[in-house]
Amino acid sequence: MFRILYLSAARRPFSKIELLALLEKSRQNNARLGITGILLYRDGDFLQLLEGEESAVRSLYHRISADPRHGSVRTLVEDTCEQRLFEDWSMAFRDLADPTLKQLPGFSALLNQPRDLADHPDDAMQIVLYFSAAGRR
């Protein structure tokens, strides 16, 4: 299993409707490609984990990187893994600006500054892990 974690910035903020359309399309495609993961969004910043077979993940990441709706795409983590963090999802999603998230135990101050994560890939992976079933165990 192979995974890529990246950070990017929307060219302009996505509306709820645009995010939902992106998710619907992604879930259709990813299910077909055997790719799972999570997409985190906050005020125009994206943090996304893609996991699956290496060639499938790489080619999807290549396609996503070229998407004109975002830029400053930075690869934070690229490695192999024993198993998926998000087995049950073709693409999980959280809007980190959602106030209900702040009530979750362990909600980290880091979540308030996704842009800083560019220099802290381990912290970025911790956040993703937090939203996975493994993180809740």
Ligand X SMILES: Cc1cc2nc3c(=O)[nH]c(=O)nc-3n(C[C@H](O)[C@H](O)[C@H](O)COP(=O)(O)O)c2cc1C
Footprint of ligand X on this chain (CB under 6 A)? 8, 22, 25-26, 29-30, 39, 46, 48, 60, 63-64, 67, 69-70, 91
What's the gap between Cα 41 and its chain centre? 8
137 DSSP 8-state letter? -
Q: Taking Cα atoms as reference points, which of 121, 13, 5, 4 lies closest to residue 56?
A: 4
* Minimum CB distance to ligand X, residue 91 (Å): 5
In a 3-state reduction of DSSP, which class is residue 121?
helix
- If the CB atoms of residues 64 and 96 are measured against ligand X, the closer one turns out to be 64
* Minimum CB distance to ligand X, residue 20 (Å): 13
- If the CB atoms of residues 46 and 131 are measured against ligand X, the closer one turns out to be 46
* Minimum CB distance to ligand X, residue 122 (Å): 21
Q: Are 41 and 94 in contact (CB under 8 A)?
A: yes
- If the CB atoms of residues 105 and 124 are measured against ligand X, the closer one turns out to be 124
Q: Are 127 and 111 in contact (CB under 8 A)?
A: yes
Q: Are 124 and 7 in contact (CB under 8 A)?
A: yes
Residue nearest ligand X (C-beta atom): 29
- If the CB atoms of residues 67 and 87 are measured against ligand X, the closer one turns out to be 67
* Minimum CB distance to ligand X, residue 34 (Å): 12
